[in-house]
Amino acid sequence: MGVLFINACLRGDESRTLELCRQYLDGMADVQEVDLGALRLQPFYGEDVAYRARLESAHDYDDPIFDLSKQFAQADEIVIGAPYWDLSFPAALKVYIEHVSVMDVTFRYTDEAVCEGLCRARHITYITTCGGKVAGANLGYEYICGIARMFGVPEVRFAAAEDLDVVGVDVAAQMAAAAEAVQRLKETR
Ligand SMILES: Cc1cc2nc3c(=O)[nH]c(=O)nc-3n(C[C@H](O)[C@H](O)[C@H](O)COP(=O)(O)O)c2cc1C
């Protein structure tokens, strides 16, 4: 299917994270974007979980409720752009993961009750920027690493621009250093 870009850069064109993502994606063919700022997905509440569970039990995966999950499972490469918010990432990205995490689409359980991933992506590239530093609390990235293991994606790569909101910091220099890291990831796709 090509590259799936999950855009959780909710400040749109103002977003420094989106700027780095665009540098990574520049020149790539066959990119599908999921713009979480535009989609405004709702979290799964009890009735939604019950509705989806009924469809899963009936092996009826034609309902649009499964579209995002199928799209994720079929991507050859996944790029997540998400600013560092409250030690992780915007809640909109977590809500998206709720939509994507579907048994027998992105993961399954074997007869021995072992969780097995069903996604075909060779890696997830996680790009973020932060006001301070992620060091010691890179919790959004670590969560995505856990999700990647569950979904069977063998590798997660990371690039960040740090200290962007620290008074006196040379923001352009921080962004340039991050752009170099992004470029290195691009060269090792
Ligand atoms: C709601 C919110 C929460 C944030 N939480 C943190 C945080 O926990 N740690 C931090 O270093 N920066 C935090 N920041 C600062 C952002 O990470 C930083 O400004 C980042 O570059 C924003 O990315 P963007 O330009 O792509 O929107 C937060 C910003 C916002 C708006």
Question: Average of pLDDT values for 28-34?
Answer: 97
166 alpha carbon, distance to own chain's centre: 26
Taking CA atoms only, the protein residue closest to ligand 1 atom 30 is 85
Q: What is the CA radius of gyration of the chain?
A: 17
Is 181 a residue whose pLDDT tops 90? yes
User: Phi/psi of residue 24, each to 5°?
Assistant: -65, -40
- In contact, 148 and 118? CB cutoff 8 Å: no
pLDDT tens-digit map of 43-56:
999 999 999 999 99
Ligand 1 pocket, CB under 6 A = 9, 11, 15-18, 83-87, 129-132, 164-165
Please give the domain boundaries of the chain with CATH numbers for all domains.
3-187 (3.40.50.360)
What pLDDT does residue 44 have? Answer: 96
User: How confident is the model at residue 1, as a pLDDT?
Assistant: 85
Distance 130 CA to ligand 1 centre (A): 5
At residue 136, the pLDDT reads 86
Can you give the pLDDT at residue 59?
Answer: 92
Element holding 159 (H helix, E strand): strand 156-161
**Residue range 105-117: average pLDDT?**
96
Three-point CA angle 69, 42, 34, nearest 5°: 45
pLDDT, one tens digit per residue, over 17-28 is: 999 999 999 999
Which atom of ligand 1 is found nearest the CA of 19?
Answer: 26
Strands 107-109 and 115-117: antiparallel
Q: Which residue has the least CA distance to atom 28 on ligand 1? A: 85
Q: Tell me what percent of the residues of the chain surpass a pLDDT of 70.
A: 100
User: pLDDT tens-digit profile of 62-92?
Assistant: 999 999 999 999 999 999 999 999 999 999 9
Q: Among 89, 130, 139, 166, name the best residue to mutate to test ligand 1's pocket (greatest count of ligand atoms within 8 A of Cβ).
A: 130
Q: Looking at the predicted structure, is the pLDDT value of residue 29 above 90?
A: yes
Residue range 140-165: mean pLDDT, rounded: 98
Burial of 48 (0-12, 13-18, 19+ CB in 10 A): middle
- Tell me: the pLDDT tens digits for 114-151? 999 999 999 999 999 999 999 889 999 999 999 999 99
Residues in the chain: 189
Pocket mutation for ligand 1, best pick of 13, 85, 169 (most atoms within 8 Å of C-beta): 85
